[in-house]
């Protein structure tokens, strides 16, 4: 089996943990593993035609050897209250018990409670154990929801500690952005802005998943009338499997977190590429091969993005990567690459680049197809295309965050809950100004000027009160 670098996944808070449960169920199936980490006779890569050699699977990137030849995910699940961790323990027997950490009381939707949690030492020590079990550790993927107190606050504390303890390793965050339709607590607006501030500072790449965009996809593309949280998580799992497909299977680009970063992030702060994936079809489909032009049209459709952008705002890209996922040999990659570049001329309005970077359009192929989850709601027995674009249009997501934060902060509602936990009030304005600065940097890129530091002038433009 090919030897490769390894990654550690850290799932924090209910959203991070529940997404992780779906993600590892899928990844285990893709690697031909049973629920308890043993090898199945057949796996997705041996069916239905053109078997890929198992050497294509870089098993030890995501899994490590456990007792009795079991494969164990390189992952840690953390929640300040036990409920979501119990859910993982009951559903996925693949984890060792020391990979599932929980405590007694949640952070009550309060970033500060999560951030000032006393449990970080125990957590960092468990992360160190996992790091020591990895020969060639490349980096970390921290997955959390931004809305609650644990994912936002405790997640940000862990991210800061990772940046200090492992400065040379790549840090990626998967940040779930709360939707007003699912949201139950007013403080989500604060937690989202405070946690995004930490992702701007301490992550190398952040993949935003807006629950609102995922809900729309479940309704429109999958025909689900009332999507549930697990529908959203299964969709995210398929997309994150595609993002990391060349890392955990094989392929010709984005074979490591570092490569994803260098392919997509020309400026360190502007590290929020938007993901768009196709096809997203309900399970009753029978198509086993999808026309490439159709896939391209679908990923360029805003409705397939996991971040909702404003179609009326002109966007500019800093980097674009297409990742084709399907059964083919790597020798075909070059011809796909040429077809992609040729076809994408038709969509030149969607694929405009900022003036000051060379047109950075890359296309890659991962030969391993995805696999359906049992009773899954997404059809996967076909080829697929993932688009990752570092576009100025992502600023729409930060603007929405500030629009929810602004009115609440203007009244200073609930601020005392945060101060009681030890936070300084200045941290609110620091976080807010950081997002405003980021939006401004994206706007300047779209206009063609170079990136500069934040200024307070932008406050009025985004209707954020001082």
Ligand X SMILES: Nc1nc2c(ncn2[C@@H]2O[C@H](COP(=O)(O)OP(=O)(O)OP(=O)(O)O)[C@@H](O)[C@H]2O)c(=O)[nH]1
Which positions are annotated as active-site residues? 259
Q: Tell me the CA end-to-end span of the chain in Å, nearest whole number.
A: 57
188 is an interface residue for Mg ion by CB under 5 A: no
Among Mg ion, ligand X, none, the one that 145 touches (CB under a kind-dependent 5 to 8 A) is: ligand X
Residue count, binding to Mg ion (CB under 5 A): 3
Distance CA 139, CA 251 (A): 19
DSSP character for 39? B
Judged by CB under 6 A, the chain residues 300 through 339 that form the site for ligand X are none
Q: Which stretch binds ligand X (CB under 6 A): 177-185, 263-271, 321-329, 396-404?
A: 177-185
250 binds Mg ion (CB under 5 A): no
Question: What angle (nearest 5°) sits at the alpha carbon of residue 8, between those of residues 211 and 62?
Answer: 95
The per-residue b/e assignment along 153-175, b for 16 or more CB within 10 angstroms, e otherwise, is bbbbbbbebbbeebeebbbbbbb
Establish if 183 lies at the interface with ligand X (CB under 6 A).
yes
Residue 176 interaction partner, one of ligand X, Mg ion, none, beta carbon < 5-8 Å per kind: ligand X
Q: Which is nearer to ligand X, 149 or 266 (CB)?
A: 149
Region near ligand X per CB under 6 A, out of 25-33, 105-113, 287-295, 307-315 = 105-113
Sequence-distant (6+) residues with CB within 8 A of 125 are none
| Tally of helices (H runs) and strands (E runs) in the chain | 18, 12
14 binds ligand X (CB under 6 A): yes
Shortest Å distance, C-beta 122 to Mg ion? 18
Q: Which of 160, 387, 438 is nearest to 263 (CA)?
A: 387
Pairing state of beta strands 384-391 and 274-278? antiparallel
Three-state DSSP class for residue 171? strand
| 14 contributes a contact to Mg ion by CB under 5 A | yes
Interacting residue with ligand X among 33, 64, 107, 194 (CB under 6 A): 107
List 116, 166, 182, 292, residue binding ligand X (CB under 6 A): 182
Which residue number places its CB atom closest to ligand X? 148
Binding string, residues 199-218; x marks residues near ligand X by CB under 6 A = ------------x-------
Task: With residue 188 as reference, give the H or E element that holds it.
Answer: helix 188-202
The dihedral of CA 327, 332, 334, 337: what is its sign? negative
Least distance to ligand X, CB of residue 290, Å: 26
b/e 235-247 (16+ beta carbons within 10 angstroms → b): bbbbbbbbbbbbb
231 binds ligand X (CB under 6 A): no
Least Å distance, CB 406 to ligand X, is 19
> Shortest approach of Mg ion to residue 8 CB, angstroms?
22
Q: How far is the CB of 206 from ligand X (least distance, A)?
A: 15
Min separation Cβ 81 and ligand X, Å: 6
Please give the order of strands across the beta sheet that includes 274-278: 274-278, 384-391, 317-325, 361-366
Q: Does 178 bind ligand X (CB under 6 A)?
A: yes
DSSP helix, strand, coil percent of the chain (3-state; round to 5): 45, 15, 40
Instruction: Name which of 83 and 334 has its Cβ closer to ligand X.
Output: 83
Of 52, 80, 162, 200, the one binding ligand X by CB under 6 A? 80
Q: Is 176 in the site for ligand X (CB under 6 A)?
A: yes
Instruction: Annotate 59-111 with DSSP letters as a single string.
Output: HHHHEEE-GGG-EEESEEEEESSSHHHHHHHHH-TTS-GGGEEE-S---TT-H
Minimum CB separation of residue 250 from ligand X in Å reads: 29
**211 DSSP 8-state letter:** H
User: What three-state secondary structure class fits 161?
Assistant: helix
Stretch of 180-188, 267-275, 331-339, 414-422 lying at the interface with ligand X (CB under 6 A): 180-188
Any contact of residue 227 with ligand X (CB under 6 A)? no
Q: Is 331 left (phi over 0), alpha (psi -120 to 50) or beta?
A: alpha
Is residue 18 close enough to count as binding ligand X by CB under 6 A? yes
Beta carbon nearer to ligand X, 79 or 434: 79
Over the window 132 to 171, marking each residue x when it contacts ligand X by CB under 6 A and - when it does not, the resulting string is -------------x-xxxxx--------------------
Residues that bind ligand X (CB under 6 A): 13-15, 18-19, 79-80, 106-109, 145, 147-151, 176, 178, 182-183, 188, 211, 229, 232-233
Residues that bind Mg ion (CB under 5 A): 14, 106, 148
């Amino acid at each position: 089996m090919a030897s490769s670098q390894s990654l550690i996944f850290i799932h924090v808070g209910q959203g991070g943990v529940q997404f992780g449960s779906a993600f590892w169920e899928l990844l285990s199936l893709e690697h031909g593993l049973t629920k308890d980490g043993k090898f199945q006779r057949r796996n997705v890569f041996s069916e239905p035609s053109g078997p890929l050699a198992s050497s294509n699977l870089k098993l030890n990137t995501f899994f490590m050897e456990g007792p009795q030849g079991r494969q164990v995910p390189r992952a840690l699940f953390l929640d300040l209250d036990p409920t979501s961790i119990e859910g993982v323990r009951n559903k996925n027997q693949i984890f060792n018990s020391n990979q599932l950490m929980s405590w007694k009381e949640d952070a009550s939707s309060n970033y500060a409670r999560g951030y000032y949690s006393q449990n970080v030492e125990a957590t960092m020590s468990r992360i160190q154990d996992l790091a020591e079990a990895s020969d060639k550790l490349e980096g970390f993927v921290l997955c959390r929801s931004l809305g609650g107190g644990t994912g936002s606050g405790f997640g940000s504390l862990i991210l800061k500690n990772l940046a200090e303890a492992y400065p040379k390793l790549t840090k990626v965050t998967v940040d779930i952005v709360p939707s007003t339709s699912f949201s139950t607590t007013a403080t989500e607006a604060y937690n989202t802005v405070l946690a995004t501030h930490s992702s701007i500072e301490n992550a190398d790449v952040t993949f935003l998943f807006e629950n609102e965009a995922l809900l729309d996809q479940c309704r429109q593309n999958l025909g689900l009338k009332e999507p549930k949280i697990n529908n959203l998580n299964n969709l995210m799992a398929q997309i994150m499997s595609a993002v990391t497909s060349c890392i955990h299977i094989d392929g010709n680009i984005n074979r490591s977190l570092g490569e994803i970063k260098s392919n997509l992030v020309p400026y360190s702060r502007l590290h929020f590429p938007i993901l768009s994936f196709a096809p997203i079809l309900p399970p009753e489909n029978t198509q086993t091969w999808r026309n490439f032009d159709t896939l391209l049209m679908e990923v360029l459709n805003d409705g397939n993005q996991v971040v909702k952008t404003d179609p009326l705002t002109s966007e500019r890209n800093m980097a674009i990567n297409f990742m084709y996922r399907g059964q083919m040999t790597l020798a075909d990659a070059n011809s796909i690459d040429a077809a992609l570049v040729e076809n994408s001329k038709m969509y030149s309005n969607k694929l405009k680049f900022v003036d000051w970077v060379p047109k950075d359009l890359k296309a890659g192929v991962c030969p391993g197809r995805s696999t359906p989850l049992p009773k899954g709601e997404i059809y996967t027995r076909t080829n697929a295309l993932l688009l990752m674009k570092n576009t100025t249009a992502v600023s729409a997501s930060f603007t929405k965050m500030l629009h929810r934060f602004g009115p609440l902060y203007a009244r200073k509602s609930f601020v005392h809950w945060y101060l009681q936990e030890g936070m300084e009030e200045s941290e609110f304005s620091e976080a807010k100004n950081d997002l405003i600065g980021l939006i401004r940097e994206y706007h300047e890129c779209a206009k063609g000027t170079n990136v500069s530091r934040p200024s307070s002038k932008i406050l009025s433009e985004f209707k954020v009160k001082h």
